Chain A
Amino acid sequence: MKLDRTSFAILAMGAILLIAGPQLPSWMVSMLNVSLCYGTVVLGMMLLMRNGIVSFGHGLYFCLGAYAAGLLDQMLKMPDMLLMVGAAVVVTGVVSAILGLLLAKYRDIFFAMLSLAFSMILYGLLVKTASLGSTDGFNVAAKTVGGFAVAPESQRLMVYSLAVVFATVSAFFLHSYLASHQGRLAGAIKDNELRVEYMGASVMRVVHRNYVISAVLAGIGGALMAVNIGHIDPEMTYWPQSGEFVFVAILSGTGSVFAPLGGALVFEAIRSFAYEYSPNTWQMVLGITMLLVMIFLPGGLWSLFTRKREG
């Protein structure tokens, strides 16, 4: 496989974040950790947006990934971080493969609303399920990585390192996929579905595949978030959560796999500082940020870099 400049840059980013981890202050590690979890989810949102579709219900897979990880600990007593992420991949992959059969037929607002409906169905189920903690959810405690015990004092750094590795692998995979013949079809479908069919490809199959990839990335993000926070609840699939992913995706732009990761960091930084310095109006700060981005950078923050290159 031939690696291009972006592939090397992704690997370099991962290596730098891993090496820098132990030197960073704990608040920054926490912020990066959440950003990487969100960024992994938004990588999947970006893939869907490249197809011209937006999901308002990706909280569904974020939550499913988290609950798959949590249940592995709660029910099967297997508190291994890698197994938890693996369980999230399997569960979100299977569920999205089934739901995707229906969703891949829809576009525009119908796709958005149907995806939202599925996420709200899961929300309804979870809040009514007492054995899963109902609205309170339950705690998740990951104690090992690949069978090796992690000391409590190293826990935070280990979770951070895992988030770096999975975000890097996800970004690397997605970049390679988008550069492939199969990945190029996403943009073609956004432009002209009729022509794609008349060139011999099944639009529905491509959208379905991309939906599953996107859902699995959201599941990985959810599992990492569960391990990071140590607690999960049905709010992870409630509509504001899905809205946040759309927010970050629009804030980031879809020009590169770096965009969702960087956008998630910017989002988390704005939210954290706004909450710190303006606790009663932090949502307004986010709203104004979105307004400014949509007016001045309709292509998202990533367009700052492409504009510079074009200039």
Chain B
Amino acid sequence: MAVILDAKGLEKSFGAVTAASNINVAVEQDAVVGLIGSNGAGKTTFLNMVTGYLKPTAGTIHFEGRDITQLAPREITRLGICRSFQIPQLFNTMSVLDNLLVGVGIVAAAGSKWGTRNSAYDNPVRAVDTMLEQFGLGSYRNRQAGLLPEGTRKLLDIAMAMVVRPRILLLDEPTSGVSADEKFVLMDMVMAAVKEHKVTVLFVEHDMDVVARYTDRVLAFYEGRIIADGAPAKVLDDVEVRRFVIGSHAAPAGAASHA
């Protein structure tokens, strides 16, 4: 499979604090990659650098061979890298339908300048209705987004990222705040949608059951570095990962200098 996203030597510092150090990741097309690590390990910093919210102190990010390191979030979105948020970012006073129609409108207005797979939707409302059904949101179609329960807000947040036709979807803790009963239902729906549209996925997740079940590759972060990278079974069984990500917090060799 071809490499779709290539991050080389990424560094990010906030004053004396190093949030990301020498991150090297090449993600293949159609992969589902889990990003694990304790709070402050650098997962969201990595995600924020890929989506343009943070500019790296050093290093480069290439998407399909194009350098996107210094691009603004909207430019990166237009190329095909979209994201959802840990705290759902919705248009709270608008209906669920309108939340998605905003995205359809943006794609339509950009026309041929939209860099992702397709240009404008032929039938916006029908396309949105199909997506609502796909994400189990059909019954909420005309409800005000601000009044939805948390799990539904998460789904809508992800659907809003999907409606602008991404090539890569970045999910920031998609199951946080979602009940244990709902999290697999939510992930099943999301994964069905991304598989159908052949979208590459990177998601930050604390629930190792979710990571083991849905990913085909895992990156384990610790103090701004990637300490393990590989198949889920291998990474989740790694001694350092079990000690520093899943279990206790003693520092691995060489990690202290990045604290």
Contact = CB atoms under 8 A, between A and B. Distances in A.
Contacts of A197: 72-74, 77
B89 A201 contact: no
Contacts of B114: 200
Contacts of B92: 191-192
Nearest to B77: A200
A196 interface: yes
Interface stretch (B21-29, B93-101, B179-187, B237-245): B93-101
A300 to B, nearest CB: 16
A202 B76 CA distance: 12
Interface in A156-197: 180-182, 184-185, 187-188, 190-192, 194-197
A199 B89 CA distance: 11
A199 B110 contact: no
Contact of A181 (B91, B93, B105, B160): B105
A198 B82 contact: yes
A34 to B, nearest CB: 33
A184 B98 CA distance: 8
B51 A184 contact: no
Name A's interface SS: helix
B contact residues, range: 20 to 34
A191 B91 CA distance: 5
Nearest to A194: B89
Contacts of A201: 74, 106, 109
Nearest to A182: B109
Interface in B64-100: 72-74, 77-78, 82-83, 89-94, 98
Contacts of A188: 91, 94, 102
Nearest to A180: B105
A167 to B, nearest CB: 27
B93 A200 contact: no
Nearest to A196: B102
A199 B102 contact: yes
Contacts of B105: 180-182, 184-185
B50 interface: no
A contact residues, range: 10 to 19
Contact of A198 (B73, B93, B101, B124): B73
Contacts of A187: 91, 93-94, 98
Contact of B90 (A182, A184, A192, A202): A192
Contacts of A180: 105
A94 to B, nearest CB: 24
A282 B164 CA distance: 54
Interface in B105-150: 105-110, 114, 124
Nearest to B124: A181
B5 to A, nearest CB: 17
Contacts of A199: 74, 77, 82, 102-103, 106, 160, 163-164
Contact of B110 (A190, A192, A198, A200): A200
A201 B78 CA distance: 9
Interface string A188-229: 101110111111111000000000000000000000000000
A184 B74 contact: no
Contacts of B72: 197
Contact of A195 (B51, B91, B101, B124): B91
B56 to A, nearest CB: 19
Contacts of B110: 200
16 contacts: A181-B101, A181-B105, A182-B109, A184-B101, A192-B91, A195-B89, A198-B77, A198-B82, A199-B77, A200-B77, A200-B107, A200-B114, A200-B164, A201-B74, A201-B106, A201-B109
Interface of B: 51, 72-74, 77-78, 82-83, 89-94, 98, 101-110, 114, 124, 160-161, 163-164
Given A198-B74, A201-B106, 16 more contacts: A181-B102, A184-B98, A184-B101, A184-B102, A184-B105, A187-B91, A190-B93, A195-B89, A195-B91, A197-B72, A197-B73, A199-B77, A199-B103, A200-B77, A200-B107, A200-B164
7 pairs of A and B residues whose beta carbons are closest in the complex: A181-B105, A200-B77, A191-B91, A195-B89, A201-B106, A188-B102, A200-B78
